Amino acid sequence: MNPIIKSILAPKFIFATLRVMTPILYPAIGVAVSALAGSVNIALEGIMLVSAFTGVIISAYTGSLWFALIAGVLAGVGMGAVLGYFHLNLKADIIIAAIALNMFASGITIFLLYILTHDKGTSSSIKSLVFPSYQIPLLKDIPVLGPMLSGHNILTYLLFVAIIAFYYIIYKTPLGLRIRAVGQNPEAAASVGIDVKKIRMYSLLLSGFFGSFGGLYLSMGYVSWFSRDMTAGRGFIAIAAASLGGNLPLGTFLGAALFGLVNAFSNFIAPLKIPSEFMQSIPYLTTVIVLAIYSINKSNKEKAALKEGAK
Amino acid sequence: MEKFIIKYFNLIRIIIAILIGVVISVVVIYIITKNPSLSFRSFFLGPFLSKGRFGDWIELSSPIILCGLAIAIPFQAEQFNIGAEGALFIGAAVGTAFAVSTHMPAVLHITTVLLVAGLTGAIWGFIPGILKAKWKTDELVISLMMNYVAYFLGLYLINYHFRDKAAGFLVSYKLPQTAWLAQFIPGTRIHLGVIIAFVFAILTYYFLYHTTTGYEIRTTGTNKNFARFGGINVFMVIVLSQVIGGFLAGIGGMTEVMGLSRRFNWQMSPGYGWDGVVVAIIGQNNPLFIILAALFLSYLRIGGQILNLLSDIPSEMVIVIQSLIILLITAEAFLQRFKNRITIREAKMKEVQNESDN
Amino acid sequence: MGPILSLKNIVKIYPNGVVANKGINIDIEENTIHAIVGENGAGKSTLMKIIFGEETAEDGEIFYQGEQVHFRNSLEAIDRGIGMIHQHLMLAPELTVAENMILGTEPIKFGIFLHSKKILEMTEKACKEFGFEVPLNKRVKDLPVGTRQRIEILKVLIRNAKLIILDEPTAVLTPQETEVLFKSLRDLQKRGKTIIFISHKLKEVKQIADRVTIIRDGKDIVTENAKNLNEHQIAELMVGREINFQRIPLPVNIGAPFLKVQNLTYINEENITKINNISFEVRKGEIVGIAGVEGNGQTELVEILTGLRQATSGHAYVNNEDITHLTPRQIREKMVAHIPEDRMQNGVAEHASIQENIIVDRYYKHPFSKGIILDWKYIENYTADLIKDFNILAQSGKTPVSALSGGNIQKVVVARELSFKPELIIADQPTRGIDVGSEEMVHDLLKDARDKGIAVFLISADLDEVLKISSRILVMYDGEIVAEFKNTEDITQEKLGPYMLGVKNQNKASVEES
């Protein structure tokens, strides 16, 4: 068999995919939950950076993973709250406010990193913790599945909890129902007494909550340090993943998986000497094409409806 | 006085936002530094402390101006295309490729290289533009994605086909001298690209406010229905505004290559496209204000760099400050209550006056 | 049985000075279907909003179930058992029917989860109890309008409404769906509910209502048992008011047909026929007025004639040239002016200056621009002249439109549209919401235009306006032109009313006669 195909089919490939998609799916859920409420959060890049940084610093100073987790999550939720406050209370354009928050996050993390460690690049000079990886008993011994699914970081396992939690929140709780109602028809929601602003605020807080796990994973799992701008656009890729998936749980999962796959794929075909730049641009090109096809279809349907009416 | 406040409310708001930013910087510097006077001096006067730094300040403003214009034109048409970063990157990459593979006399070479870079950027504007105009695809997400496509394709082009293997870094071949933009003030890095940026800013101002197409763009932006009602081809305007934006960003990238490094040496995207968003917002999409905003932003940048060099405060403080300024400027309700109070007082006074007149 | 709701001397004045209700008194008897009828702008909707707590009255008292109430918002009204079905349905399209029904009052289990079993029970019970059949698990967007409306009613019922207000519920329904709705309303009445029903359609009022209140000019004219009034009487009471205007004299010189509409039909996205095979013409030197209740196809007609909407079939000709598929600019270049219905949406860019609003249809022409360069100096002088000629209260042409009053904004629109020497003026609600002085001026301008030999096509929901300035009147009802009159002294509101309200139809009458 062709060695390339063989390596792609190897369990290692799926393992890598899951690893790569972890810091994409978390923020993608964050984007999706905010988009469902009708106020798309494009500040996940910043939320992840702040959480990644907070987690590393707190773990280094307290030596406690729990404190790091709590602080990282609070930092992410706090960013969501700031965005919500500026957008909902001070009537800032949510897109521009989010762009500003992304800049803020990039600046403040490097700024503080330098103040604390006198290094602008990475936090490697301080000893921070990482979230543990686990081999799953029994599963790890199953031939193909074992190496695919076992041995991951705990945050990668939590990813599945997160997507299921997202599903449950959206479809099985009153909050989720209200989030969807507010996103689809805010007037209708308001007419039955739902506070639209409050629901949007909750969705942005949730958005920060989910996003923060992506950040924590980056600096305390994917690698074991914080480095400047380490999100490297994953917060934006998350927007693409969520829009590919129509902001729904399964779709968002598949969207993030696509990015994970392509990314892992580009590493695995390195021996083929296809320039990695090509491979890396594929997810973005895919998004452009899929979004274009999606909107072309939609507008064709609308036109068809008009024609139908003409008959 | 009160009338003045209402009339120039927006300007006042922006100035207050900037002042708040500056005050925060002062406080931060004061808290952190061991040597406040040196720090304040380097931060606030830094760009004036030497000729070279003054030059750096002016030079840095030029790509920011061009990207600010590139963002402002689509913004004026209410198009949220934030693809200046990608257009700049791919424009510079393709322009570099073209420049190192062609031989021409200087003036012609400069012009054609800039044109190639601009047109490449224009293609990057065209794609989100046509998708939006024809099928209402969200230009924000598409332009974001196109930034990454531009980044990777640009790198591919330079690293695989135009890489100077003798250089030791991942950089392109040096541009032939015919394609250089001269650094015309000795002791500084100020090059012809700076002139180009200022000229384009003035041209763009003229374009937006004194030509029929500029009028179409602005009218479409203020009320699309009205534009359609009046007979303006809104479809064309949506596409064109983004194409022009891409064109300017492409030129912005190319002038940096031609005037400063004389070869393509970006392995990371330089971020001018995002600075463009910042100055477009501070400058309220008006090209003349964008010049000021870009000078302001690059002043802070250079000040921050010097601060970083001479003291213990990282230059990223500037990024934090600029993001706070944008947050405040975009927050419509910020200071609104203050304005409302004045408006009400004004209205009451008018009433009293009317009554006493009667 | 006593009244469930008593309105005593309700007065509503909007901040802009419009008096919508001028002391309305109505008693709604419990367990009746009570129709409230009136022209556009008569004050019905405002009154309903006051009952439902969405607006507060300046004066007057509301008694509900025997005690005085002051609802501060609609939630308080809902809590007391009042429900309202808005004309624009308040549903989330991607949610299921059941989800929409229980939104805001979700039953929960384990503290945070939706109690799906209870939801099903509640919604099924409501459906069964009131005899409504709706597919509970389907998404709302996949259902026809009639079903969506039943969901709205169920939404109100599940919140235990005793008094249900329906704001023109049949406007969006097909005749079959209307039948179903009426049957449901009768059922609800049998189950003890009280229903307030707002409508323009007198046939329906006669068919469904026990009692009728007619509102005109913000006052209740009469409240009667429905069987004591016939449709003609209702129509006359709705529109019949004293004429307090002088009709402008009819034109002397009427020229050749300038606008010709032939067999024009428009069917919208929801498959509703908004314009049904209409033909008419407007000649030079006459004002043809379309009278009709809003929403009977006038908006669509104007948009088709000005290139903003594509007709489904048929043709329109300006000066014998087919304009059916031309762009707005191409049509304007045939010297067609358009005063739009909604001036803030289409007529102006409010944050732009007056001069930028004036040139929107001519900026590309000489002398406003030379090549691609705008001549601001010329534009400034030009605008200054228009500001003077049209009496626009503004400091200069650079003043933003948003700083002007409604009347002055309309003058900017009129100044633009009349200043490029049009040969056809399409004026859609040209005096809506503006002061008397500006209204007078617009009427004079249209008359002057007519006397200069310009063809004027007027669309107005204000019957007085139509009667005052039209040379010829067409009545539009349900997408058709149902009557045509030469405007003479004997044409009165009473005469037009029955046609506007669908009681009479010249076309059908002639068929019946022949």
Asked if residue B254 lies in contact with residue B92, where contact means CB atoms within 8 angstroms, the answer is yes
Residues 117-136 of B with CB under 8 A from A: 127, 131, 134-136
Asked if residue B337 lies in contact with residue B77, where contact means CB atoms within 8 angstroms, the answer is no
A97-114 mean pLDDT = 94
CB contact under 8 A, B316 and A108: yes
Does residue B211 or residue A302 have the better pLDDT?
B211
The rounded Cα A84 to chain-centroid distance in angstroms is: 18
Size of interface A-B (CB pairs under 8 A): 140
Match 């695995």 to its residue by tokens: A268
Among A130-139, B199-208, C144-153, the range of highest mean pLDDT: B199-208
pLDDT of residue B308: 85
Asked if residue A50 lies in contact with residue A79, where contact means CB atoms within 8 angstroms, the answer is yes
Produce one character per residue of B159-172: b if its CB has 16 or more CB atoms within 10 Å, e if not: beebbbeeeeeebb
B212-226 mean pLDDT = 96
Asked if residue C194 lies in contact with residue C34, where contact means CB atoms within 8 angstroms, the answer is yes
Size of interface A-C (CB pairs under 8 A): 76
Helix orientation angle between B317-330 and B287-310, rounded to the nearest 10 degrees: 150
One DSSP character per residue, C117-139 reads HHHHHHHHHHHHHHT----TTSB
Whole-angstrom distance, CA of residue B252 vs CA of residue B114:
9
Contact of A202 with chain C, judged by CB distance below 8 Å, is answered with no
Strand partners of residue C318: C259, C321
Strand partners of residue C3: C29
CB contact under 8 A, C114 and A173: yes
Q: Which of B131, B160, B316 sits opposite A111 (nearest CB)?
A: B316
CB contact under 8 A, A108 and B334: no
Whole-angstrom distance, CA of residue C41 vs CA of residue C218:
8
pTM: 0.84
The CA distance from B84 to the nearest CA of chain A, in Å, is 14
The CA distance from A171 to the nearest CA of chain C, in Å, is 8
Residue B187 has pLDDT above 50, yes or no: yes
Whole-angstrom distance, CA of residue A185 vs CA of residue A194:
11
The CA distance from A225 to the nearest CA of chain B, in Å, is 20
Strands C82-85 and C67-68: unpaired
CB contact under 8 A, C348 and B226: yes
pLDDT of residue A83: 97
- What is the phi/psi pair of residue B257, to 5°? -65, -45
- Secondary structure element (H or E) that encloses residue A285, with its range: helix A276-310
CB contact under 8 A, A181 and C106: no
> Could you give the dihedral angle defined by the CA atoms of residues A302, A306, A308 and A310, in that order, rounded to the nearest 10 degrees?
-170
Residue A136 has pLDDT above 60, yes or no: yes
Kindly state the tokens that stand for B61: 């403003």
Look at residue C396 and give its three-state secondary structure: coil
Question: Which parts of chain C sit beneath pLDDT 50?
Answer: 510-514
Chain A residue nearest residue B160, CA to CA: A275
Residues 164-193 of B with CB under 8 A from A: none
Which CATH number is C3-239's, of 3.40.50.300, 3.40.50.740, 3.10.20.30, 3.30.1370.60? 3.40.50.300
Question: What fold, for C246-335+422-514?
Answer: Rossmann fold (3.40.50)
Contact of A154 with chain C, judged by CB distance below 8 Å, is answered with no
pLDDT in tens, B168-179: 788 898 999 998
CB contact under 8 A, A86 and B322: no
End-to-end CA distance of chain C: 50
The CA distance from B323 to the nearest CA of chain A, in Å, is 5
Q: Return left, alpha or beta for C33; rule: phi > 0 is left, psi -120 to 50 is alpha, else beta.
A: beta
Q: 3-state secondary structure string, B102-154?
A: CCCCHHHHHHHHHHHHHHHHHHHHHHHHHHHHHHCCCHHHHHHHHHHHHHHHH
Contact of B10 with chain C, judged by CB distance below 8 Å, is answered with no
B248: which residues sit within 8 A by CB, 6+ positions away?
Answer: B66, B67, B69, B70, B73, B84, B118, B121, B200, B204
Q: What is the mean pLDDT of chain A?
A: 89
pLDDT of residue C439: 85
CB contact under 8 A, A192 and C103: yes
- What is the phi/psi pair of residue C255, to 5°? -95, -155
One DSSP character per residue, C307-325 reads TSS--SEEEEEETTEE-TT
Q: Is A254 exposed, middle or buried (0-12, 13-18, 19+ CB in 10 A)?
A: middle
Contact of B44 with chain C, judged by CB distance below 8 Å, is answered with no
* Confidence band, pLDDT 50/70/90 cuts, at residue A161: very high
Whole-angstrom distance, CA of residue C399 vs CA of residue C387:
11
pLDDT of residue B250: 97
Whole-angstrom distance, CA of residue C24 vs CA of residue C18:
16
Look at residue C443 and give its three-state secondary structure: helix
Residues 254-313 of B with CB under 8 A from C: none
- Secondary structure element (H or E) that encloses residue C83, with its range: strand C82-85
Size of interface B-C (CB pairs under 8 A): 69
| A2-310 classified as CATH 1.10.10 | no
- Name every chain C residue with its beta carbon within 8 A of the beta carbon of B212: 363-364, 369, 372-374
Q: Is the peptide bond before C257 cis (omega within 30 degrees of 0)?
A: no
DSSP C451: H
- Which strands make up the sheet holding C82-85, listed edge to edge? C82-85, C163-167, C194-199, C33-37, C211-216, C219-225
Q: Which domains are present in chain B?
A: 58-311 (1.10.3470)
Whole-angstrom distance, CA of residue B266 vs CA of residue B268:
5
The CA distance from C72 to the nearest CA of chain B, in Å, is 24
End-to-end CA distance of chain B: 25
CB contact under 8 A, B32 and A99: no
Residue type, A187: E
Chain B residue nearest residue C331, CA to CA: B231
Residue B355 has pLDDT above 60, yes or no: no
Given CA atoms C368, C371, C374, C377 in this order, what sign does their dihedral have? negative
- Name every chain B residue with its beta carbon within 8 A of the beta carbon of C347: 226, 229
pLDDT in tens, A28-87: 999 999 999 999 999 999 999 999 999 999 999 999 999 999 999 999 999 999 999 999
Kindly state the tokens that stand for B12: 């006042």
Contact of A307 with chain C, judged by CB distance below 8 Å, is answered with no
The CA distance from C304 to the nearest CA of chain B, in Å, is 12
Whole-angstrom distance, CA of residue B336 vs CA of residue B344:
12
CB contact under 8 A, C268 and A309: yes
Kindly state the tokens that stand for A205: 């807080």
pLDDT of residue A271: 64
pLDDT in tens, A261-277: 887 777 776 666 777 78
The CA distance from B140 to the nearest CA of chain C, in Å, is 24
One DSSP character per residue, C494-514 reads HHHHHHHTTS--HHHHHHHH-
| Mutation site, B143, B159, B330, B338, interface A, largest A CB count within 10 A | B330
The CA distance from C341 to the nearest CA of chain B, in Å, is 12
- Name every chain B residue with its beta carbon within 8 A of the beta carbon of A233: 148
The CA distance from C489 to the nearest CA of chain A, in Å, is 41
* Helix intervals (H) in C333-422: 354-358, 376-389, 406-418
| Mutation site, A184, A191, A199, interface C, largest C CB count within 10 A | A191
B351: which residues sit within 8 A by CB, 6+ positions away?
Answer: none
pLDDT of residue C474: 94
A158: which residues sit within 8 A by CB, 6+ positions away?
Answer: A213
Match 């705008």 to its residue by tokens: C374
pLDDT in tens, B131-158: 999 999 889 889 988 999 999 999 999 9
Does residue A144 or residue A42 have the better pLDDT?
A42
ipTM over 0.90: no
- Name every chain A residue with its beta carbon within 8 A of the beta carbon of C269: 302, 305-306, 309
* Tally of CA atoms within 13 A in the half-sphere of A310 that contains its CB: 12
B23-36 mean pLDDT = 86
Q: Is B61 exposed, middle or buried (0-12, 13-18, 19+ CB in 10 A)?
A: buried
CB contact under 8 A, A173 and C75: no
Contact of B226 with chain A, judged by CB distance below 8 Å, is answered with no
Q: What is the mean pLDDT of chain B?
A: 89
A242-259 mean pLDDT = 90
Whole-angstrom distance, CA of residue B253 vs CA of residue B117:
8
Q: Is B15 exposed, middle or buried (0-12, 13-18, 19+ CB in 10 A)?
A: exposed
Given CA atoms C99, C100, C102, C104 in this order, what sign does their dihedral have? positive
End-to-end CA distance of chain A: 58
Residue A311 has pLDDT above 50, yes or no: no
pLDDT of residue C243: 62
The CA distance from C255 to the nearest CA of chain B, in Å, is 28
- Name every chain B residue with its beta carbon within 8 A of the beta carbon of A278: 152, 156
Extents of the domains making up chain A: 2-310
pLDDT of residue C405: 81
The CA distance from A158 to the nearest CA of chain B, in Å, is 28
| Mutation site, C103, C268, C270, C272, interface A, largest A CB count within 10 A | C103
Does residue C410 or residue B10 have the better pLDDT?
C410
CB contact under 8 A, A96 and B160: no
pLDDT in tens, B279-316: 998 899 999 999 999 999 999 889 888 888 887 788 88
Produce one character per residue of B72-96: b if its CB has 16 or more CB atoms within 10 Å, e if not: bbbbbbbbbbbbbbbbbbbbbbbbb
pLDDT of residue C473: 94
- Name every chain B residue with its beta carbon within 8 A of the beta carbon of A298: 135-136
Whole-angstrom distance, CA of residue B76 vs CA of residue C351:
13
Domain ranges in chain C with CATH number 3.40.50.300: 3-239, 246-335+422-514
pLDDT of residue B111: 95
- Cα A161–Cα A164–Cα A168 angle in degrees, nearest 5: 130
CB contact under 8 A, B213 and C338: no
Whole-angstrom distance, CA of residue C250 vs CA of residue C486:
9
Q: Which of A96, A275, A285 sits opposite B326 (nearest CB)?
A: A96
Contact of B323 with chain C, judged by CB distance below 8 Å, is answered with no
Whole-angstrom distance, CA of residue C355 vs CA of residue C357:
5
- Name every chain C residue with its beta carbon within 8 A of the beta carbon of B230: 328, 332, 360-361
CB contact under 8 A, C270 and A309: yes
Q: Which of C329, C347, C374 sits opposite B215 (nearest CB)?
A: C374
Whole-angstrom distance, CA of residue B281 vs CA of residue C300:
39
The set of chains that have 3 or more CB pairs under 8 A with A is: B, C
Residue A13 has pLDDT above 50, yes or no: yes
Contact of B32 with chain A, judged by CB distance below 8 Å, is answered with yes
Helix orientation angle between B272-282 and B234-256, rounded to the nearest 10 degrees: 120
Residue C220 vs residues B196, C237, C497: alpha-carbon distances, Å: 72, 10, 18
